[in-house]
Structure 1
Amino acid sequence: MARRGHGAIVTVSSSAARMPAPVGGAYAASKAGVEILTRYWATEFGPHGVRVNAVSPGPVRTEGTAAMLGDQMEALDRVNARGRAGDPREIAEIVMFLVGPASSYVNGATLFADGGEISALPG
């Protein structure tokens, strides 16, 4: 991409990078690492015409999430301001925006697609 002088990369983080929990510290740390790497790459490759951004989903209804949560899957609908978990297609649409021409001036950003999960935190 840098040799061609244009391109767009979208990395995938997670709301876990911003929300401490009793479990999942290694996962959260890895996603926080994705976010800083995204900013570094944006700085490194931006002058060569390559944009690098991240999408940071909150809870999303996927087969993997269902396998992990089992019968607690309905709890996903209570963790954000929208009152429901995300759909994988919604995240895909954000990725399409970030690689498309409408976001040509966006570089080094993390787009939070969490249904307002941070807003719904108590206190």
Structure 2
Amino acid sequence: MALRLEGKIAVITGAGSGMGAAMAELFCAEGARVIAVDISGAQNGVAARIGESCTPFQADITKTEDVQAMLGLAVEKYGRLDILCNNAAIDGPLGPAAEYSESDFDRVWNVTGRSVFIGMRNAIPLMLRHGGGSIVNTASIASLVAFPTMVAYGAAKGAVLQMTKTFAAEYARQGIRVNALLPGAIRTGMTDQMPAQYVEAAKNATPMGRMGQAAEMAQVALFLASDGASFVTGAGMVADGGYTIV
């Protein structure tokens, strides 16, 4: 069977753990060369585990110069950029919307929302040099339904979905596809830090009766990034075990 990303060059943010690490591993297994980006340093261990097809890079994705550097590394090392997965995010503290601090809101927005704009804005000119590319933005079902106590996260993820649609509409005829992955309750380091009762409630509200796995989300991202989704753009691909259908 042919590898689905053979010869593709990808940059994946939030690749130090969770869904980003799973994406890096799967994309490399499917033939891509990956720049694995994280702010934590954990991307080094991920890249070491994967091997030479994965290059670690430390960056703060809220800073334009860091984003330009991570994308520039792909071009410098491999000559092009084919895929960008804007996956990095934070959820921020939980709390009632009317009591949520402006500083916490701004921090969540900068990492989870604004960084996606910065990533796409700087990636698209590089993709256009070689006839196009594929962008996969990790949104969330929080961009579709309300999650009380998570006003900043929901606002940011809602913006990610809408930016996905806007960029997709503007660049479709130039060979760039832009799609969003909308995970439901997924077992990651982020959910491990949430109150147990909150996670349990999300699991119980999922018709499949379980949380999703990072590897399952990586499979959806792989489809959206690959030529198998050649007629898919501007989509919000829900992968939530049925959470939003009931």
Tell me what 2:140 maps to. Answer: 14
Deviates further, 24-33 or 74-83: 74-83
Output one character per residue of 1:66-85: Cα deviation in whole Å (capped at 9) or x when no partner. Answer: 11234654444312111111
Q: Bigger radius of gyration, 1 or 2?
A: 2
Matched, 1:67 2:193: yes
Match of 1:45 among 161, 171, 191: 171
Q: TM-score, normalised by structure 2?
A: 0.47
AA in 1 matched with 2:181: V
Measure how far apart 1:87 and its partner are.
Answer: 0.2
Three-state SS of the structure 2 residue aligned to 1:52 is strand
**Counterpart Cα distance in 2 of 1:69 and 1:14:** 19
Structure 1 residue runs without a partner (length 5+):
none
Q: Deviations over 1:1-51 (max 9, x none)?
A: 122112100001111112223211111011010001001110122111010
Using the TM superposition, give the Cα deviation of residue 61 of structure 1 relative to its aligned residue in structure 2, in angstroms: 0.5
1:101 to 227, 237, 240: 227
Identical positions, percent: 38
Does residue 81 (structure 1) correspond to residue 194 (structure 2)? The answer is no
Separation in 2, partners of 1:58, 1:95: 14
Q: Structure 1 32/72 Cα, relative in aligned 2: closer, same or farther at 3 Å? A: closer
Distance in 2 separating the partners of 1:2 and 1:9: 12
- AA aligned to 2:186 is V
Which stretch of structure 1 is more off in the superposition, 64-73 or 75-84? 64-73
CA contact (8 A) 1:2 1:45 kept: no
- In the aligned structure 1, how far is the partner of 2:148 from the partner of 2:241? 22
Return structure 1 stretches of 4+ with deviation > 6 angstroms: none
The range that moved more, 109-118 or 75-84, is 75-84
1:58 aligns to 2:184 (yes or no): yes
CA distance in 1 between counterparts of 2:164 and 2:133 reads: 14
| Residue correspondences, number | 120
Deviations 1:73-101 (A, max 9, x none): 44443121111110000000000000111
**Worse-superposed segment, 20-29 or 47-56:** 20-29
**What's the C-alpha RMSD, in Å, of the aligned pairs?**
1.4
When residues 71 and 24 of structure 1 are mapped into structure 2, their CA distance, relative to the original with a 3 A threshold, is closer
Contact 1:42 1:107 in 2 (8 A): yes
Residue 129 of structure 2 is aligned to residue 3 of structure 1: yes
Gaps of at least 5 residues in structure 2 are 1-126
SS in 2 for 1:80: coil
